[in-house]
Structure 1
Amino acid sequence: MKSDLKHAKTGLEAIYQSYNRRAYVHPDPLEFLYEYRDARDREIVGLVASALAYGRVAQILKSVRTVLNRMTPAPATFLKTASLPGLRNHFAGFKHRFATGEHLALMLMGAKGIIERHGSLRAGFMSGVKKSDESVLPAMTLFCNRLVSAGDPGHLVPLPERGSACKRMNLFLRWMVRKDAVDPGGWDGIPASKLLIPLDVHMHRICTNLGLTKRKQADMRAVIEITAAFARIMPSDPVRYDFALTRFGIRAEMSPEEIPDYLFSSTDRLPD
């Protein structure tokens, strides 16, 4: 069993060391966070960028840029003085696939409410964190319900209690909690060990091929199963390999088929 885990970790670490670099970020909405040094701005940018991270990559980048260009001089300052009618007017005509300016305005108003009550999005999230929690799921559930307090922002904000994988919210948390060559961090006090894997169809396929899950659906149960598998390799940081693995298929020159076969052979799967 120990040799299997060592083998898996060695392969994943090789991919991490090769691809967990800023040079491989584009095209990824994560790149927008690098433009903001102030954590108060960066957490708002992260919320917007992750919420819009679905659909064609080119359109995601265009939509996020459009929103940020309207949140001048800085997102935190912009939101501090915003009102719901003002946000509706500011983002009138905005559309990103199924999301409208109304959805965006309601999400941002929910974020404003959290900031007014707790001082920052981080503090608002931290208010729901308990040491006894096995993961961030309970705190994330509370946080998402607070984000919809101003009205229904559609699928921009997931409701974890419905069983969704909550890929974009878990992506947001990865960006904000982890700190390495790619993830900027800033949300101290939340252990990386409690993060959940950001799971979409693409990552689900990769993890299925690697033998990390038998779940057919990319739902929250699959998220928990896959996160547990990664935690057996890296208990302190189970989402460590998310960015590097998802480069295969996101970047045009990298295909999932290129993920080295030596990661898990037929006899070197993670132990039951």
Structure 2
Amino acid sequence: MNRQEIKQLLDEKYSEYCKSDFFIETDPIQIPKMFEEKEDIEISGFLAASLAWGQRPTIIRKCRELMQLLDYAPYDFILNATETDYERFTHFKHRTFNAYDCCYFLHALAHIYRNLGGMEKIFTDSFRQHGDMLKVLSDWYRLFTIHPAEKRVLRHIANVEKGSAAKRINMYIRWMVRKDQSGIDFGLWKNIPASALLIPLDLHTGNVSRQLGLLTRNQNDAQAVLELTERLREFDPADPIRYDFALFGLGAFGKQNI
């Protein structure tokens, strides 16, 4: 396929898969869709994205379990919970993400909202400083890992300086920043442009991108994210990551050969 044919395919598949009634019912983004308040959306979205690996039905079930433990009020919980309240997470587990990891994440979020102005301020300030989302992700790793008592929690926080593709945090940022007619992504954060976003690179996206000749790197790592994102910017400089729907959909839902 030539460049124009690839773009036409991706545009068609974006239109096919980027539909709220089709996409949301099978995607972890349905978790923040449960809420209306900005802070509840940000917090539940971050937690849902953080748990987004494995089978999608299991991810969604565990995310709903976590929201129940948070009394379906994540912002209120992190602001007002006592240490006794954290005991309810003793048996929470999703794959290798255990009760300690869960409580660490919640305490870190509490610090962010009590003392640092919230998630939007952290990411927006970093972007204003660097103008580069890879550097923003480096800042995020350093901030979020500043107080881990157990180093095991670090496996759940993407470190792009060590080559991580940072799929889950890039997906979360996409949720918060992008906005289109589908209404899937929230578009809550107004001061980071969609043009700056990085592709949430996973197995489906990587495999399809290589089949299409959009990605030459074999590993799904930070360098591959940069390579693929630059190729997608050639197709849509203003909103390259909209093609995440097309690439993921072709891999996860598509039945035809490319």
Tell me if TM exceeds 0.5: yes
In the other structure, the counterpart of 1:96 is 94
Q: For this pair of structures, how many residues does the alignment match? A: 251
Give the TM-score normalised by structure 1. 0.86
**Structure 1 residue 90 displacement after superposition:** 2.6
SS at match of 1:44: helix
The match for 2:165 is 165
Root mean square deviation of aligned Cα: 1.8
- Structure 2: distance between partners of 1:164 and 1:87: 33
Q: Distance in 1 between matches of 2:138 and 2:110?
A: 18
Aligned equivalents of 2:245, 2:188: Cα separation in 1: 18
Cα distance between partner residues in 1 of 2:121 and 2:46: 14
Whole-angstrom CA distance in 2 between matches of 1:124 and 1:173: 12
| Aligned residue number for residue 28 of structure 1 | 27
Residue matched to 2:47: 48
Structure 1 range deviating more: 32-41 or 240-249: 240-249
Contact 1:106–1:148 under 8 Å retained in 2: no
2: CA distance between counterparts of 1:132 and 1:125? Answer: 11
- Residue number in structure 2 paired with 1:264: none
Secondary structure, aligned partner of 1:127: helix
Letter in 1 for 2:219: Q
Is 1:194 aligned to residue 196 of structure 2?
yes
SS at match of 1:241: helix
Match of 1:230 in 2: 232
* Stretches of structure 2 lacking an aligned partner (at least 5 in a row): none
What CA deviation, in whole Å up to 9, does each residue of 1:36-92 have, x standing for no partner?
111111010111000000011121111101101111251111111135x44641311
Which structure carries more helix by proportion? 2
Give, as a single letter, the amino acid of the residue that structure 2 aligns with 1:117.
N
Q: Mark the CA change 1:132 to 1:104 in structure 2 (over 3 Å): closer, same or farther.
A: closer
Deviation at 1:168, TM superposition (A): 0.4
Contact conserved, 2:204 with 2:247, CA < 8 A, in 1? no
- In 2, the alpha carbon distance for the partners of 1:87 and 1:48 equals 18
Q: Percent identity?
A: 31
Q: What is the CA distance between 1:163 and its match in structure 2?
A: 0.7
Q: 1:132 to 1:149 in 2, by over 3 A?
A: closer
Name the residue aligned to 1:269. Answer: none
Q: Which amino acid aligns with 1:144?
A: Y
The amino acid of 1:149's aligned partner reads I
Written as runs of structure 1 = structure 2, the 5 A alignment for 1:97-116 is 97-116=95-114
1:45 and 1:192, CA in 2 relative to 1: closer, same or farther beyond 3 A?
same
> What SS is found at the alignment partner of 1:197?
coil
Aligned pairs for 1:219-258 (under 5 A) are 219-250=221-252, 254-255=253-254, 257-258=255-256
Q: Supply the distance in 1 between the matched residues of 2:3 and 2:27 (Cα, whole angstroms).
A: 30
Extract structure 1 runs of 4+ deviating beyond 3 A. Answer: 4-8, 85-88
Instruction: Name the CA distance, whole Å, in 1 between partners of 2:216 and 2:229.
Output: 13
Q: Partner letter of residue 138 of structure 2?
A: T
Aligned residue runs from structure 1 range 148-163, under 5 A: 148-151=145-148, 152=151, 153-163=153-163
**Unaligned runs of at least 5 residues, structure 1:** 262-272
Deviation at 1:131, TM superposition (A): 6.2
1:62 match: 61
Shift of 1:19: 1.5
1:248 offset after TM fit, Å? 3.3
Match of 1:268 in 2: none
Determine if the alignment matches structure 1 residue 13 to structure 2 residue 15.
no
TM-score normalised according to structure 2 size? 0.90
Partners of 1:29 and 1:45 in 2: how far apart?
Answer: 10
